[in-house]
Amino acid sequence: MAIPDAMTRLRAIDRVPHWAVQTCHFVLVVIALLVFLPGARAAVDDSLFRSLVTVQPVWPGHAQAGESGPPSASEPEGTAVAIAAGGYLVTALHVVERASEISIRTADGLVMPAALVARDGATDLALLKIEADLPVLPRGPEPGLGEPVCALGNPYGTGLSVSCGVVSGLNRTGMGFNAIEDFIQTDAAINPGMSGGALVDGDGRLVGVVLAIFTGQSDSDIGINFAASLPLVIRVVDDLLARGSVAWSRPGFGVIPLTREERQTISGARVRGVLPDGPAAAAGLRRGDIVTRIGQRRIRKASDVTAAIQLAKPGSSLTLAVTRDNRSLTLSLTLPLPGS
């Protein structure tokens, strides 16, 4: 059989019925949507809401949120996520910090009091306790860039809702919200009232707790939203449950940003000073060293050092990649135990 030339092939294509071409185009569009649009893959299981509550604090000078009338941004309200058995919920500290009393509303509409049992101002996380044992969401691994995620929360007090998007960034630090930050950035719509809500992956597993949004000149979502990473949430919650406060490590050194000129050839953070007889001194760290990596975390700016150190528990040993006088060194830093 002779092989048809290019013009023969083109004529054959021209003879394909117009309806068949349109059908092919339609199928290709549907496939593209299923592949590239997270929300088109699968519906979110509404059973996830059983692990969340709306938080209704009473703030001085404000009415009880959610009691009557339409939702109002002037009546503070938030969200919390079941994080441990026994009725423990994690939420954003700024939702409940000034509250004279706190109540929660479950997905089934039940209202009950909640107690603020522990807090951590450095991360804006707080632990609540209620007299009900809600199902705890399964914990997921760190999501990848571009992977689908959904934010579950209580936007403007309207009730538990879901919005979906993708992971826009990982390991965000130095955003200016909290002293210790390790954020997942997402474009999933997040609005006031969703603070303390859950960020879940495509399998409904918890990967973060919603804490902050960039809003520009308004209080509304502009697609730059932040959730505390699950490792940071676990680090805080474990200590709050065990001892009522978080034992943050004191590594015995401080860092400063590199100059603009230095960043043309290297990224990291420069050691500003080292405490004599401290953990960093024992590790061999010196003033002027440039820290480029801590454990598996690449250091791009000074705030990354804080996150990498504080995500590790006291007593842990961390590997530091350091540049000194154009030489690469590897040091081992052991974080001190509380009270040592």
Render pLDDT for 139-153 as a digit per residue (tens, 0 to 9): 999 999 999 999 999
Residue 167 pLDDT exceeds 90: yes
Nearest to 164 by CA among 184, 189, 195: 189
Q: Would the pTM count as exceeding 0.85?
A: no
Instruction: Catalytic residue, from 124, 187, 239, 289: name it.
Output: 124
Is CATH 3.40.50.300 correct for 253-334? no
Looking at residue 60, its pLDDT comes to 76
Distance CA 121, CA 128 (A): 15
Inform me whether the pLDDT recorded for 70 exceeds 80.
no
Q: 52 falls in which pLDDT band (50, 70, 90)?
A: very high
- The pLDDT score that the predictor gives to residue 24 is 41
Among the options 168, 195, 229, 303, which is catalytic? 195
Query: Rounded mean pLDDT of the chain?
Result: 86
Question: Confidence class of residue 218 from pLDDT cuts 50, 70 and 90?
Answer: low
Is there a catalytic annotation at residue 25? Answer: no
CATH architecture of the region 41-246: Beta Barrel (2.40)
Is 239 labeled as catalytic in the residue annotation? no
Reading the block at residue 52, the tokens are: 């969340």
User: From the candidates 51, 94, 163, 201, which is the catalytic residue?
Assistant: 94
- pLDDT tens figures, 99-126: 999 999 999 999 999 999 999 999 999 9
Does the pLDDT at position 27 exceed 90?
A: no
94: annotated active-site residue: yes
Contact criterion met (CB below 8 Å) for 335 and 315: yes
Predicted local confidence at residue 188, as pLDDT: 96
pLDDT, residue 2, reads 42
Percent of the chain residues topping a pLDDT of 70: 81
pLDDT tier at 212, thresholds 50, 70, 90: very high
Measured CA to CA, the distance from residue 294 to residue 271 in angstroms comes to 13
- Side chain identity at 129, as an amino acid letter? K
CA distance 289 to 239: 32
Model confidence at 11, pLDDT cuts 50, 70, 90, reads very low
Q: Which residue has the higher pLDDT, 196 or 8?
A: 196
The pLDDT value given to residue 220: 59
Please report which confidence band the pLDDT of residue 158 belongs to, taking 50, 70 and 90 as the band edges.
very high
Residue carrying the six token digits 């929360």: 153
Mean pLDDT computed over 273-286: 97
Banded model confidence at residue 17, pLDDT cuts 50, 70, 90: very low
